[in-house]
Structure 1
Amino acid sequence: MQGQENLNPDPSSGAGQGNPPLSAAQRSNLLPLTAAGYAWWRARSLRALGADFSLEREAALFRALCRPLPGQDWLDVGTSAGFYAGVLARQGCRVLAVDLSAPMLREGAKREPDARIDWAQLNMERSDLPPASFDGVTVGATLNETRGPADLLRECARVLRPGGQLWLMYLRRTGGPLQAVLGHPAAGGLNFPDPAWVGRCLPGLTRTDGLGVGAVQFERYVKSA
């Protein structure tokens, strides 16, 4: 795997030894079977969730709003099968693609074999990445699965350079019964943030763009220069 390493403060990717505990959804992503089928699900997930939005349209929206430039340094948080990492590498960016699941990283590296992407095992709820080290950060749906969404957002903001941009894709809170079920720890422990709450977790950043498609939320934030 190109550039694979483990960036966790402790070798284990999860609970214990001071690391954040994992949600049930995060633990399921550690399974090779989940990783093998993730790209198939990702390509169909937004339609399944009520948003008629293909991966091609999602990539086009991201490129139009964020305009990543060749030579920039980007961090792809919860890269899974490497969708955003691949989009960024094809724009000429250097990418650090991180995920807490080694099987997901192997799947991503297989699908996006680009030398501009480094793959690393890391839980972004707590990281030792240097501050102000990236021009941009992408987070695609990981915000829903993480055990500590506020911690993840804080870390994303911390590693951004002044003027850097944060791109989020997540399922926002609707108050529906299905979200209530999926939020139960035994059913996945998913969380569904409200966009206003997300903004309050990013005090040093300004939201420049926001688009809701069904329950899916796309947002771009810029860190104060």
Structure 2
Amino acid sequence: MSPKTLTLAQRSNFLPLTPLGYARWRERSLTLLSAQPFGLEREAGLFKALGRPQAGQRWLDVGTSTGFYAGVLAAQGCRVDAADISAGMLRQAAARAPSALISWHQVNLEQSGWDPEGYDGVTAGATLNETADPARLLGELARLLRPGGVVWLMYVTRAPGLTQLALTRLGGLYFPDLAWVSRHLPGLTLEHASQHGAVQFALWRKEEHTSSAVQGAKL
């Protein structure tokens, strides 16, 4: 996979050392970004309580990195397609979250036209901050979700100051606010949002009868 169309933040995932050190950063990142104790166990508990993954469901983990959400989902008995652009990240993820319920895929969902049957749920942890075209990525997530399914996002939201501006210009990072994200998830309704420091958690659900509503509007 060519990194030419990727942001600098995305391209950094192809460096040999990044996958080796990412899991350690991931364990500490939310505590640093939220300015409160926020380890992986707390994050997993919040997701499970709100996303309510159930055994037998099919989920997509976008930008899985070292497989945190994929592992949480598999532990709940879900079948998971875990996608990432970096083969090195996927190797680390498969070693850290070994499960017959997880299928690992080196793919950029923003560009691929990925088209399996609809998913019961989609997770993305900070992927939205790094992707080259966040609006396109969100549209793809909405498209891949079955009616009644949910999208769970964790990302760093917009904040005042020069730091985010510098990271945007130098690293290609993007820091959306909640209203912008909701506008780019067509046919989905926001069910939960909570912010902890700079960290935004949010859950959207796809409308059950989107097609019927559209047809009725045309009559």
TM-score, normalised via structure 1 length = 0.89
| 1:39-50 mapped onto 2 (5 Å cutoff) | 39-50=23-34
Unaligned runs of 5+ in 1: 1-11, 16-20
Instruction: Tell me, in whole angstroms, the C-alpha distance in 1 between the residues paired with 2:186 and 2:117.
Output: 16
The yes-or-no answer on 1:148 pairing with 2:133 is yes
Residue in 2 that maps onto 1:190: 173
| 1:1-225 mapped onto 2 (5 Å cutoff) | 12-15=1-4, 21-52=5-36, 53-130=38-115, 132-184=117-169, 187-225=170-208
| Residue 126 of structure 1, CA deviation | 2.1
CA contact (8 A) 1:77 1:97 kept: yes
Per-residue CA shift, 1:90-131, capped at 9, x if unaligned? 000000000000100000001011110000011111223226
| Residue 50 of structure 1, CA deviation | 3.1
Instruction: Tell me, in whole angstroms, the C-alpha distance in 2 between the residues paired with 1:181 and 1:146.
Output: 16
What letter matches 1:176 in structure 2? G
CA contact (8 A) 1:182 1:189 kept: yes
What letter matches 2:17 in structure 1? L
TM-score, normalised via structure 2 length = 0.92
CA contact (8 A) 2:142 2:186 kept: no
Instruction: Tell me, in whole angstroms, the C-alpha distance in 1 between the residues paired with 2:114 and 2:174.
Output: 25
* Bigger Rg, structure 1 or 2: 2
What letter matches 2:178 in structure 1? P
Instruction: Tell me, in whole angstroms, the C-alpha distance in 1 between the residues paired with 2:100 and 2:91.
Output: 14
Measured at CA, do residues 210 and 132 of structure 1 come closer, stay the same or move farther in structure 2, by a change above 3 Å? Answer: farther
Instruction: Tell me, in whole angstroms, the C-alpha distance in 1 between the residues paired with 2:80 and 2:14.
Output: 22
Instruction: Tell me, in whole angstroms, the C-alpha distance in 2 between the residues paired with 1:114 and 1:51.
Output: 33
What letter matches 2:205 in structure 1? V
Instruction: Tell me, in whole angstroms, the C-alpha distance in 1 between the residues paired with 2:54 and 2:35.
Output: 28
Aligned residue pairs, count: 207
| Residue 35 of structure 1, CA deviation | 0.4
Instruction: Tell me, in whole angstroms, the C-alpha distance in 2 between the residues paired with 1:203 and 1:23.
Output: 25
Instruction: Tell me, in whole angstroms, the C-alpha distance in 2 between the residues paired with 1:165 and 1:78.
Output: 17
CA contact (8 A) 1:14 1:123 kept: no
Aligned CA-pair RMSD? 1.1
Unaligned runs of 5+ in 2: 209-219
Instruction: Tell me, in whole angstroms, the C-alpha distance in 1 between the residues paired with 2:119 and 2:56.
Output: 11
Structure in which a larger fraction of residues adopt helix: 2
Per-residue CA shift, 1:172-224, capped at 9, x if unaligned? 0012211011111xx31100001100011012100000000001000000001
Measured at CA, do residues 31 and 200 of structure 1 come closer, stay the same or move farther in structure 2, by a change above 3 Å? Answer: same
Once structures 1 and 2 are overlaid, which stretch shifts more, 43-52 or 165-174?
Answer: 43-52
Give the % identical residues: 60
What letter matches 2:25 in structure 1? W
Pick 1 or 2: higher relative contact order, CA cutoff 8 A, min separation 6. Answer: 1
